[in-house]
Structure 1
Amino acid sequence: MASHLWYPLLLVAIFLLMQTSDCFIHSRAAFYPNSDENGTDIGACGFGSFGATINGGDVSAASDLYRGGVGCGACYQVRCTDTAHCSSKGVTVVITDQGSSHGTDFVLSQRAFSKMAQTADAAASLLSIGVVDIEYRRVSCSYPNKNITIKVDENSNFPHYMGFVIWYQQGIKDITAVQLCETQNFVCKLLDRSYGAVWTTTTPPSGPLQVRMLFSDDDGDETWLVPVNNIPEDWKAGETYDTGVQVNI
């Protein structure tokens, strides 16, 4: 084959290989030194005790990936790069908090940090090191047999205030906007992101309510999700309400 024919093919092959290698981003990770394997129940995302045990306790705080709260609920595959101790699979974590340590992108729960290792002995070695080189990539969140769920803030009090956090965020997109709609006249109110994953309004609508969520990605692709189930008219502070939907977007 003439050189002028195979050379472009070689460049294409190299480009595809680079794209595959670049799926993972290099960084560093630490772990919560005072955690009891799980995450924290006072995380900056506002998940409360749910944030310590979601995903089986495989959770993490993030620094830049927190993104002002937009990153809350996002899932990442994280794997350390020391081949003597680390597995090729690593661990999938959910962002539930904000924080960094020694220039890290992730501060994992002890449970998640240990799961990056090949064996129990290797996990002990990783924990003794404390901060390790890693590579990570965004992956889709999946919660089998779980629907997206609305947890109403304990301080909510109609008609003065309503706040809630969204549990079991699924797929690979971010929730970038939330509307609260009256189901009887279809009037919708755009909510404020108070902090983390907490959405609030000082003038909650009355009657049965529908929570509409906008899922967005970096490419500008946006999808409004309309739940099957509504929040009942007599909603209670501190209660959870199943939306009846699962997503894979």
Structure 2
Amino acid sequence: MEFTVKSNCLMFMLVVLGCLVLSHSQDFICSKATYFGSPDCKGNPSGACGYGEYGRDGNDGYVAAVHSPYRNGTGCGGCYQVRCKVGGCTDEGVIVVATDSGGGDGTDFIFPAQVYSEMAQPGLEGELLSYGVVDIEYRRVPCDFGGSNLVIKVHEATKYPYYLAIIIVYPPGVYDVVGVQIWQEDSKTWRDMRKPYGAVWDIENPPKSETLTFSFLLSATGSVDDGEWVDSPTYVSTSLEAGATFDTGIHQL
């Protein structure tokens, strides 16, 4: 019994050490993943990020609810390479975009069943699905859809000029948006926007102008402490219709 306990402890330490080395050298992090629904099930249109239908159909349906990468919503819209670590998994895994928050049984990713099964080699999808929960490794990667600039969308709750809400749809590269400001022309000052939840930022009594200018605090770690403010070189028209998207012109740092 003593031998079994020590052996298990040693094996656990080796797995943890392997994860740390892998994470340090290749930016992969060890975790677990699971799935929901039938093979034709899609993502959640009412997810915690606030994306609506984009949470179902974004990235051609390759979406995921995430736990640790959610980071109080700053991780929404980030893309991740995820690959399973059991027999019959591909080396490439899948690329998914985080559109919701969720976790359980130590998991950091919850996939639609079809996306989960595509981590398997051809013909072994059923075997992978039978595990239910599987060991994975994942890393943040730049999104390769929708261009590489930071894109915002007008939230359906916007009632300009009384209230403005925007959604960060495509963060640039591997950077999170951890702060948003809007330019107040009459006072020549930047005003902070509030993040009520997910990828949504809002402000009451926004500046009244024909165009709006935004600045974004971008961080590679999700922390405001190492973020860098980047002003958008483009302007947003105040003909703000719900669902309208705007390319900020901000690329990677």
Per the shorter chain, which TM-score range?
A: 0.7 to 0.9
Alignment match, 1:9: none
State how far apart, in whole Å, the 2-side matches of 1:232 and 1:184 are: 17
- Unaligned 5+ segments in structure 2 are 1-19
Residues 1-249 of structure 1 mapped to structure 2, 5 A cutoff? 18=21, 23-33=27-37, 36-83=40-87, 85-119=88-122, 121-143=123-145, 145=147, 147-182=149-184, 186-207=188-209, 208-218=211-221, 221-243=226-248, 245=249, 247-249=251-253
Q: What is the CA distance between 1:35 and its match in structure 2?
A: 7.2
Q: TM-score, normalized by length of structure 2?
A: 0.81
For the 8 Å contact 2:151–2:247, the answer to whether it is kept is yes
- CA offset digits 1:67-90 (Å, max 9, x no partner): 11111112221110113x201111
For the 8 Å contact 1:59–1:94, the answer to whether it is kept is yes
Q: TM-score, normalized by length of structure 1?
A: 0.82
Of all paired residues, the percent bearing the same amino acid is 39
State how far apart, in whole Å, the 2-side matches of 1:191 and 1:222 are: 16
Q: What is the CA distance between 1:228 and its match in structure 2?
A: 3.2
* Residues matched between the structures, number: 230
Distance 1:139 1:240, change over 3 A: closer
Distance 1:152 1:134, change over 3 A: same
Superposition CA RMSD, Å = 2.4
State how far apart, in whole Å, the 2-side matches of 1:198 and 1:185 are: 25
- Unaligned 5+ segments in structure 1 are 1-16
Q: Secondary structure at the match of 1:28?
A: strand
- CA offset digits 1:156-182 (Å, max 9, x no partner): 112321111011222112110011124
State how far apart, in whole Å, the 1-side matches of 2:148 and 2:141 are: 18
